[in-house]
Amino acid sequence: MPPSFSNSITDVRGIEVGHFTEPRRPTGCSVVLVREGAVGGVDVRGAAPGTRETDLLDPANMVNTVHAVLLSGGSAFGLDAAGGVMRWLEEQGIGLDVGTARVPIVPGAVLFDLHVGDSRIRPDAAAGYAACQAATSALPAQGSVGAGTGACVGKMFGMEHAMKGGIGTASVCVDGVTVGALIAVNALGDVVDTDTGQLLAGARTADGQTMRNTSRTLLAGIPPLSILAGANTTIGVVATDASLTKAQAQRLAGAGHDGLARAIHPVHTLYDGDTLFALGTGQVAHSPGLNVLAVMATEAVALACANAMRAAEGLRLGDLWLPSASDLASLRAAPTQRA
């Protein structure tokens, strides 16, 4: 690995990340900045997405360069944060030159976190602007920050049995080329460690002490509760410093969904709006080829999902308790410690 390798999306040359975490309730937004621009792609798999500028990224359409990607809480309201990202980029002189102005190209996606705290408080243009101000190429904070602040997972059997989600990052380097991922995990399903198969976070049993394994419970014939469409969603960015065409960027975003499928069970449900963007900064002259980049993207996304769960912090709001993976691990260890 390179000496500066930090196992994050910011290992990708040309990428910066900034978070804004709302202090008044659990929500926020995260921005992936590309000051010099990047070729962009997107792949939307969930059935209840909330997105912005995704049509622009279709390989058949004209604009090739993306300047930032917004990931936000707040459901569809959170798309307002993109206006602040555009304003910050414009002030830096960054954007598509249209003669009379520079227009920053800022695709984005949102997740649903309105059920934790006062739903009237959500990321707005000021939040997007603040996330840009905070952006650096250093290792980004993970867990309950930015777009992952109000995220939770394992909601198939009700919020009272869910756990805390969050945002995570990871990267993979092969022959001097890096692929990194930043993923905000707010899934209906459970999250697993893909190396061990161990459940990290998800739907809990009635006593709240252990996880019940959503997929096995459904296969046993136990039905889910009534679920609000769109009240979930995992969103994120996959980036590489290799050069990509728009068609290749779209394929790389699709490969990232393979990482979601490895880490989240079940994934891409009718009640998730799972959306991944891909960016190619082109700052490395060579490439291992799209097949290798796709494998790297799959791995980075799966690792980022696991890192999000490990870094998340539990949340209490009135009678609602959303424990983190570390909270449940501590509960399981307590009897042994007392013994």
Q: What integer pLDDT is reported at residue 84 of this predicted model?
A: 98
Alpha helices in the chain (DSSP H): 81-91, 125-133, 214-219, 246-263, 290-311, 325-338
Q: What integer pLDDT is reported at residue 209 of this predicted model?
A: 87
Q: Is the pLDDT of residue 6 over 90?
A: no
HSE (CB half, 13 Å, CA atoms) of 297? 30
What is the Cα–Cα distance from 62 to 155, expressed in whole angstroms?
Answer: 40
Q: What integer pLDDT is reported at residue 173 of this predicted model?
A: 96
Tens digits of residue pLDDT in 41-92: 999 998 889 999 999 999 999 999 999 999 999 999 999 999 999 999 999 9
Which helix (H) or strand (E) segment is 186 a member of? Answer: none
- Tell me the three-class secondary structure of 30-82, residue by residue: EEEEEEEEEEEEEEECCCCCCEECCHHHCCCCCCCEEEEEEEECCHHHHHHHH
Domain ranges of the chain: 9-338
Confidence of residue 4 (pLDDT cuts 50, 70, 90): low
Instruction: Give the chain's mean pLDDT.
Output: 94
Tens digits of residue pLDDT in 177-188: 999 999 999 999
Tens digits of residue pLDDT in 104-151: 999 999 999 999 999 999 999 999 999 999 999 999 999 999 999 999
Q: What integer pLDDT is reported at residue 1 of this predicted model?
A: 59
Tens digits of residue pLDDT in 249-276: 999 999 999 999 999 999 999 999 999 9
DSSP β-ladder status, 235-240 and 275-280: parallel
User: Nearest to residue 38, comparing CAs of 77, 12, 6?
Assistant: 12
What is the Cα–Cα distance from 188 to 227, expressed in whole angstroms?
Answer: 9
Tens digits of residue pLDDT in 199-244: 999 999 988 889 999 999 999 999 998 777 668 999 999 999 999 9
Q: What angle do CA 244, 250, 253 make, to 5 degrees?
A: 100
Collapse the DSSP code of 216 into the 3-class scheme (helix H, G, I; strand E, B; otherwise coil) and give the result: helix
The token pair that represents 123 in the structure block:
């990321």
Q: What integer pLDDT is reported at residue 329 of this predicted model?
A: 86
CATH, range 9-338: 3.60.70.12
